[in-house]
A and B are shown apart, each in its own frame.
Chain A
Amino acid sequence: MAEATIPILEMKNVGKTYSQNGRSIEALRGANLRVKKGEFICLIGASGCGKSTLLRMAAGFETATQGDNLMWGVPISGPGPSRGMVFQDYGLFPWLNVRDNIGFGPTSRGRPKAEIRETVDHFIDLVGLQRFADVYPHQLSGGMKQRVAIARVLANDAEVVLMDEPFGALDAMTRERLQDELVEIWSRTGLTVLFVTHAIDEAIFLADRVVVMSPGPGRIDNEYSIDLPRPRDTASAEFNEWRRLLSSQLHSHHRRKAG
């Protein structure tokens, strides 16, 4: 089969049940998801809908208790550099400066020094942190930290970037700028992005496809292909229609849950 027909990520009837203090909790049930190379996918839903669980399974941090979890048709057995993760709390190494944080992956994989230097320089430029290359994480703002986290994943040749509410802790202005930059980087590099969020606007602005999930137990409800041209205008009538549609989708769960 040609590469184009095999999805880069595929989850077949995936489920996850935790057992905690003798009780079992079903975090995710029967989730099916196919991600094509180069797609930008947003997972959206209320807390407890299993969106983070799904993402962490794709990363290999958690294993499914049911179903298959595949990358290029091969079962995912654990975390690895092909799937880079950007955490909401950054997860930067505080003892490494920006340069060495970005170079962590290539260094781990034993790349030659000159090559690491070149790669790191390239990605420092890409995220606009030239002036902060020698600064430690505790001296950076939240937005800058998240730029480092993104550059760190890209510098390690990740094919898929998994993002777990990466902009959730940032102020509105910074969030919007980083959203713009992320779309820009994504369209230039042909990355595949799986992005978890609970913000409807963010999902519509970023995604090719929005996957709506709902809790109790976590599952996938619906998928929507967002066909709006890029760059997207959040004030347009079409954007607003999507906003209304997804909002009613998400809120129907709340009513169902409450009733």
Chain B
Amino acid sequence: MTTLASRDDDQTLSGRGSSWATTWRPRLKPLLLAATFPVAMLVLWHVFTVGRPGSLIPPPHEVWLELQDLAFGGINDDAFSRTLHIHLLASVSRVYGGFALALVVALPLGMLIGRVPLVRQVIDPTLQILRPVPVTAWLPLAMILFGLGPRSAFFLVFLGAFYPILVNTVFGVRSVEPRLFEAAAMLGCNGSAQFFRVVLPAALPSIFTGMRLGLGFAWVVIVVGEMTGVQTGLGAIIMEARQLSRTEIVISGMIVIGIVGFLSDQLVMLLGRRLLSWSPSHG
């Protein structure tokens, strides 16, 4: 550590690109480190696939061309060209629609379960028994109930986001420090006002964690939900391409899901940093 630090000092003292050393390098270093592994994987991928017609996996540049064709067309000009926006919009609207519905149901329900003993006693055991059933195991039943099509996918997303939000909301509203209720009461804040001025803000970090997990899970589940009987969506395009042995499209679809899921998570994190700047573990 000391040697590194003194070397840094020497560089700045000798005046060799002090703005580089002080402003750019600290920002660039994590980016470079983060890029090392994917670049290495890309190189390996290229080396092992390029120039081998029999390879099950297409080389990276073919996937790159396919991605461009999916987005803008003009390369293959087949049924998949320039369809990315349709599939992307379909998946995004299902993810956020199902997620929003899960929020609308899970937030109030979680608060009731957490704060009202009667509701907890009546509803919680049932929810706990249903919880271990994997969301994917609901797919066949969803298809029977809602038919083959986007409504089943929507339902799965809802279910996938529902439990993380519910469980974390219940935890959040139940684990408010008792001292804060005493503090509020002696300051003249009682009854339902306590719920809005103490319970809700105190539970916000937990609720937020639940939302983040729920949204992440929604992106996992959407692909499963779209794999059967759905015409549009990133899951649908992946499944269809597999049947046609268009592996470059399968991989392109995966890359798009990864990027969109990442951006979606970053958006939630940004929101969290604004809302929870008071919390040492979030701010």
Contact = CB atoms under 8 A, between A and B. Distances in A.
A156 B278 CA distance: 23
B27 interface: no
Nearest to A105: B187
Contact of A104 (B182, B189, B202, B283): B189
A87 interface: yes
A224 B275 CA distance: 52
A79 B201 contact: no
A135 to B, nearest CB: 10
Contact of A95 (B182, B193, B201): B201
B150 to A, nearest CB: 39
B123 interface: no
Nearest to A138: B280
A80 B278 contact: no
A42 B45 CA distance: 76
A152 B201 CA distance: 19
Contacts of A23: none
Contacts of A80: 185-186, 188
Nearest to A94: B278
B204 interface: yes
Given A79-B185, A81-B188, A95-B279, A108 B179 contact: no
Interface string A64-106: 0000000000000011110111010101111111000000110
A115 B280 CA distance: 31
B188 A85 contact: no
A18 interface: no
B277 interface: yes
B179 A78 contact: no
A91 B179 contact: yes
A59 B202 contact: no
Contact of A96 (B182, B185, B193, B278): B278
Contacts of A156: 187-188
Given A93-B201, A95-B204, A84 B187 contact: yes
Interface in A88-143: 89, 91-97, 104-105, 108-109, 136-138
Given A60-B185, A94-B202, 7 more contacts: A79-B186, A81-B187, A81-B188, A84-B186, A96-B201, A153-B186, A156-B188
Interface of A: 59-61, 78-81, 83-85, 87, 89, 91-97, 104-105, 108-109, 136-138, 152-153, 156
26 contacts: A59-B186, A78-B185, A79-B185, A80-B185, A81-B187, A81-B188, A83-B186, A85-B182, A87-B182, A91-B180, A91-B182, A91-B183, A92-B183, A95-B279, A96-B201, A97-B278, A104-B187, A104-B197, A105-B187, A108-B184, A108-B197, A109-B188, A138-B279, A153-B187, A156-B187, A156-B188
Interface of B: 179-180, 182-189, 193, 197-198, 201-202, 204, 277-280, 283
A-B pairs with lowest CB-CB distance, top 4: A105-B187, A91-B183, A81-B188, A79-B185
